[in-house]
Amino acid sequence: MVHKKLTLPEKICAACGRPFAWRKKWARDWPQVRYCSDRCRGSNSTSGPGPANGAGSGGKAGRGK
């Protein structure tokens, strides 16, 4: 008998540096997912060596909701 191994893809959270596994809610955005949770995604805006985008800070960008 061959056991089918369920191996979910993993990534390293860009905020906390911990590995996290694929989740169903990320099925569509997995290639873009960088953080293990919304909390990490939000807490990265203050201090972080990430991309200096400054998304949603000034309001210069007119797109989005």
DSSP H or E segment with residue 39: helix 38-43
Smallest gap, in angstroms, from Cβ of residue 46 to Zn ion?
14
Q: Which parts of this chain interact with Zn ion (CB under 5 A)?
A: 13, 15-16, 36, 40
Q: Which is nearer to Zn ion, 12 or 61 (CB)?
A: 12
Q: Which is nearer to Zn ion, 33 or 36 (CB)?
A: 36
Tell me which amino acid residue 5 is.
K
Q: Which is nearer to Zn ion, 13 or 22 (CB)?
A: 13
CA 23 – CA 36 distance, rounded (Å): 10
